[in-house]
Amino acid sequence: MPETPTISHTLFRGTLNVSVVLIGLASGIAQLTGIPLRFAQWAFTAIFLACLLYFVVRLWQLAFVVKIRELRSDLQDATRLLTLQQAGHQHYLDAIQRISDREKPLFLETLEVLVTIGADDDSDRIVEKRITTPEPLVTHRTMRPIVPTDTDRITRLDEISFKTLRPVGGTITPLPLEQSRLLRVWLIFDPAMTTPTEWQVEYRPRGLWGPLRERGWDQLVWEDRLPTASGTPSAFTRFQVTFSFPDSDQPPSVKERQGYGRFAEPERDPRGRWEVVWLDEKPAGRRYVWDLTQAVGGR
């Protein structure tokens, strides 16, 4: 099997071939037409410069090809390394999720959720306020923010402006565990909770209530599946949701399909927005489905 010529052989062989061809053509033409010696010298000088230019161009071209090959090889190596790192990172995330799914909450908790239906996609907002009572301590936990699920688009923490607040006694570090249609967040408390602690998360799920604004009705689902280590069906001791609607001539309505909890009548807040408060004082690990209706276009 013949050896593949090196780049240097290719460079000099190509330049030599071009030089021989040009010189041969020029000599033949000079002999046939009887060109004076002075013009022949100029012609050979031009041929020499053309060969030199060809050599420089080919040298640059081959250097460019070599650099492209090196970059392509580096890119392949980096891609393989990144793939291995991503696979290892995903193993860690999967392990954390499995541990979290098996671990029963060592706490009791009151939860108040403020659901703000904006006048447009950018003003949709969720605030979850919690008071957690550790039994005996809480170092971390996971949660799923309420995000739109009617598309296949991946949702990221930075896209919903996810924020945490622990007013007294430490910080909360949020880390994404699952970034898909169903976003999942790992919250690390530093220091660990050992006494009743107030904290909250806030985020802006852009377009969450777009269907409600367009057609006048939508629904919200909440899964309360946090059986505690003590055997109670829910870690929640009190669960309240306040639905805040834009100003309109007609009051909105909210109904829970199974009749869980109780509602207050719609009232206007100081800003003129409608508020509907729902409360379950005895949560029991239920699946809540709220049906929301409002006037389309603020009428």
Global pTM reads: 0.70
Q: What is the 3-state secondary structure (H, E, C) of the chain?
A: CCCCCCHHHHHHHHHHHHHHHHHHHHHHHHHHHCCCHHHHHHHHHHHHHHHHHHHHHHHHHHHHHHHHHHHHHHHHHHHHHHHHHHHHHHHHHHHHHHHHHHCCCCEEEEEEEEEECCCCHHHCEEEEEEEEEECCCEEEEEECCCCCCCCCCCCCCHHHCCEEECCCCCEEEEEEEECCCCCEEEEEEEEEECCCEEEEEEECCCCCCHHHHHHCEEEEEEECCCCCCCCCCCCEEEEEEEEEECCCCCCCEEEECCCCCEECCCEECCCCCEEEEEEECCCCCCEEEEEEECCHHHC
Which segments of the chain have a pLDDT < 70? Answer: 1-44, 47-48, 51, 54-55, 82-104, 152, 154, 179-181, 226-231, 298-299
**pLDDT score recorded for residue 26:** 54
Taking only the tens place, the pLDDT of each residue in 104-142 is 678 899 999 999 999 999 999 999 999 999 988 999 988
